Amino acid sequence: MLTRLTRSAEAVGVAIFAALFGAFLLQIVFRYAVGHPLGWTDELALVLFPWAVFWACAFAVPWREHVSFDLLAQAAPPHARRVFGLVGAALVAVLFAAALPATLDYVAFMARERTPVLGWRYDWVFACFPIFLAALAARALCRVAALLGSRWRERIGPGSE
């Protein structure tokens, strides 16, 4: 089931990126071939870009591919790497979960504003960020659980999730 959910999330990310790329190409054609730039394609690209980035980071990018400062951890023995991994994942989970209520409040506040061209409510535009925070907090908790499990050595080596 996890594989199916991952593939579905990746498909959504691909669809977002394809729409972003399509809007970008359409804008190029209309700006340079037709001589009539389209405002809505610029705005659509500006909305879809953060969605593509945050969606991919939340659901498609493996844990090992996220930005990390692990120079010391990689030089440490396995038990120390486990501790570093546990502390780091727990901090991500706690901090992202702690930021979620204020982020949701701000996104809800933005419902009163609309984008200039398409007229979309900004709460929908910015909804990608609380989704990102919640997903990364949940993934960090899963990492903590995995590092506390009996197969923790599989999670600390190169190429681990």
Cα separation of 122 and 118, whole Å?
11
Q: What is the pLDDT of residue 157?
A: 64
Measured CA distances, 61 to 38, 103, 118, 141, 153 (Å): 33, 22, 30, 16, 21
Q: What is the pLDDT of residue 115?
A: 95
DSSP assignment letter at 88:
H
Burial (CB count <10 Å: 0-12, 13-18, 19+), residue 53: middle
Could you tell me if 119 and 128 are in contact, meaning their C-beta atoms sit under 8 angstroms apart? Answer: no
* Model confidence pLDDT, tens digit, residues 127-145: 999 999 999 999 999 999 9
- Rg of the chain (C-alpha set): 20
**For the chain, how long is the longest CA-to-CA vector?**
63
For the ranges 40-49, 65-74, 77-86, 132-141, the lowest mean pLDDT is seen at: 65-74
* Model confidence pLDDT, tens digit, residues 16-53: 999 999 999 999 999 999 999 999 999 999 999 999 99
* Model confidence pLDDT, tens digit, residues 104-117: 999 999 999 999 99
Cα separation of 134 and 146, whole Å?
18
Structure tokens of 15?
Answer: 């669809």
Q: What is the pLDDT of residue 160?
A: 46
More confident residue, 76 or 145: 145
Q: What is the mean pLDDT of the chain?
A: 90
